[in-house]
Amino acid sequence: MAKVLATFVDPRHLTPAAMAAMRARFGQGENRHLVIDKFVSPQLLALLDRVVREEGEFEDNLKLASAARAPRDSDQQTPRGKVDAATFAAAPESDRFIRQKRLVGPRPGFEQGLGSKADRMVRQMLASQPLHQWLGAITGMALHRTGGINLKLHGEGHYLHPHSDARPGRQLCAVLYVHQAWDAAHGGEFVLHLADGEQLRFAPEPGRLVLFDVTQTNVHTVAPVTASDVWRVNYTAWFG
């Protein structure tokens, strides 16, 4: 397990002592979560920066709360809640749930680019058995599959309003920040809303991994990015 993950993951997080310490930290409180800094190498972040700046094709990911609650056909392929730009713009602000961008794939001609190759390798790692085993060891969960892998961008004015990721089959969610630099003044914090009303705010530090238990009471949000010239870049995935 450690040999496979060490291609991407800082080996310090793969030792038995480190894993035992993380297991103890994750198991505390009702809103179980874990923040792991410098999870991946700066070299990987540099490669993924190529996806953002040149190699990747991104689309708007706009969702309305009302659309997310609406009944769906069993064969409907559009992600729950997603709408086009015109529908989103016409909706009241209170109904606008998510505003961000997501990676569709490599731009034509960049399929074999270094950044595109790194993106594919990260996705393979997130779906791998060694990662499932490592996550299981630090959370106590039996994890066998990965879903919802996306690379997302948050720029100025983008946001994700409070919600739970609870769905059948999901046990754990992950957010991995892969931008190369971040200033706290740029906003974009991951905010965990605790049952007692307290908020825990985590800056999107480069290479930081945030794990959290998927329950109806584990509500989180993303604060708006306030800077005009930066992208908050992160992978999201769920495990079950």
| Domain range 2-56+121-239, CATH class | mainly beta
Residues 6+ apart with CB under 8 A from 135: 141, 143, 172, 211, 239
Give the tens place of pLDDT for each residue, 203-219.
999 999 999 988 777 78
pLDDT higher than 80, residue 51? yes
Q: In this structure, are residues 136 and 142 in contact, taking their beta carbons and an 8 Å threshold?
A: yes
Domain ranges of the chain: 2-56+121-239
* pLDDT interval class at 96 (50, 70, 90): very high
Q: How confident is the model at residue 77, as a pLDDT?
A: 65
pLDDT higher than 90, residue 28? no
Which of 79-83, 118-122, 194-198 is predicted with the least confidence, judged by mean pLDDT?
Answer: 194-198
Q: pTM score > 0.75 for this model? A: yes
* pLDDT interval class at 79 (50, 70, 90): confident
Alpha-carbon span 14 to 18, nearest angstrom? 7
Percent share of the chain, pLDDT over 90: 72
Amino acid at 91: A
Q: How confident is the model at residue 173, as a pLDDT?
A: 94
